[in-house]
Structure 1
């Protein structure tokens, strides 16, 4: 019997998972080195959908100071995503301090700076000699390139494709945008995103203060509809190379809006941004 790939990718969400990487990985705290290794591992704590780096303890140049022990076996925070898991899953908006397996929490001291509770050593035989570092607490390099948001997942990717599909986006019966020349962005485990030329947006958008970061696309700037929904659309003014094709194009949160593709309304996706 054939197996759906989604089931393979998500079937072990309840487990502590890891994957070695051949990249040279370095972490810094306020310019001070914290770790430098070619033996890092990507680690997904139970119910986490995004991996972060664990480094060998002997690759640390910073000091670890025990901050206590935590076990998150009964943690029920997160978002319920029916397509992935019956239990709430933890996306990057759930802070590093929420741990879902037993282990020891550490402060990280580099030079005169301290990152509180920014390291976690799981109680697991396969990760005995490793410590997981809070991605948000440090500056990171893979080889000589800085990375943002989180490490790339070797089992995920994005594809951008030109399309002639007729995309219509509405809010409570009001037309927001309509295009027959969208760019469709496909990303593993996420709904398809429809990026539209600015001239195909028919309502006034005003920039908001909200920004977010994607490891694959870069820094997103958000827009609100004048006299309408807030922070409902975004764009990438200076995207990373994977998203160069959608530079300055507009994408709407279709989780919160009515979207018709080729005349058929599509069901609203359920994501952490619903």
Structure 2
């Protein structure tokens, strides 16, 4: 029987997963070197959506100091570990370490899974350090080789409403397709009505730094834009996208169901 590829990948979701990378990875803490290697592993702990990096112990220039008690998979029973769940919520057995580089310490910023495949490696908390893949800085999390975005020009008619109130309407959207996420409609700013700028920001490993808008009298942080995107997100520069989870997005007259994602409950 044929298998849908997303189901094939999903079958391993509860397992500790890894994938070698040929990229040269450089890690620093407050300007002090932590590691540099071309033998890093991308690592997904069980039920983790996005990866982080493991580096060979031999590539470390920083010091590892055991935190104390070993971490266990029973400490975190959540079924889904999205990027908002901290690194220290480990979902497999292993040992935690502080990372000391110069006068700075990354508290519990390293983890060695209790798995023979990681005997010579340590997993590092992406948020605790500064990272480069080759000479390019990386934000949010490592680039996942099984994850991509496609941005396509479209003539579909897109209408955005909140409780029947028109927020935006366009027949020249850019449609962004991203692995395992809903299709997103990025609209020219001229086709979007009044929104209130927010001081909220977030970071995407593929698109860069996002700035947010709220709907007057409606949900907070309901829309976002990339003013200076990374190269993968360059086509959507200065376009505005709404969370389908928080407002109604109508494409070619069809009102879509609001998807359930990690963004469904925020900003309402």
Give the TM-score range, shorter chain: over 0.9
Matched, 1:151 2:139: no
Give the structure 2 partner of residue 253 of structure 1. Answer: 243
Helix, strand or coil at the partner of 1:93: coil
Matched, 1:206 2:196: yes
Stretch of structure 1 that moved more, 254-263 or 31-40: 254-263
Query: Structure 2 matches for 1:1-274, cutoff 5 A?
Result: 1-68=1-68, 69-73=70-74, 75-77=76-78, 88-202=79-193, 204-274=194-264
Name the stretch that deviates more: 48-57 or 223-232: 223-232
Superposition RMSD in Å: 0.9
| SS across alignment from 1:211 | strand
Displacement of 1:193: 0.5
Q: Does the residue aligned with 2:67 lie in a helix, a strand or coil?
A: strand
Give the whole-Å Cα distance in 1 for the aligned partners of 2:255 and 2:216: 24
Query: SS state of the match for residue 90, structure 2?
Result: coil
Structure 2: runs of 5+ lacking an equivalent: none
User: What is the TM-score when the length of structure 1 is the normalising length?
Assistant: 0.94
Structure 1 residues not aligned, in runs of 5+? 78-87
State the shift of 1:4 in Å.
Answer: 0.2
Deviation at 1:74, TM superposition (A): 5.4
Measured after TM superposition, the shift of residue 206 of structure 1 is: 1.7
Q: Could you give the per-residue CA deviations for residues 145-190 of structure 1, whole angstroms, max 9, x where no partner exists?
A: 1111101100110000000111111111111111111000000011
Q: State the alpha-carbon separation in 2 of the partners of residues 165 and 73 from structure 1.
A: 47
Q: After TM superposition, give the deviation of residue 73 of structure 1 in Å.
A: 3.2
Q: Normalized against structure 2, the TM-score is what? A: 0.96
Matched residue count: 263
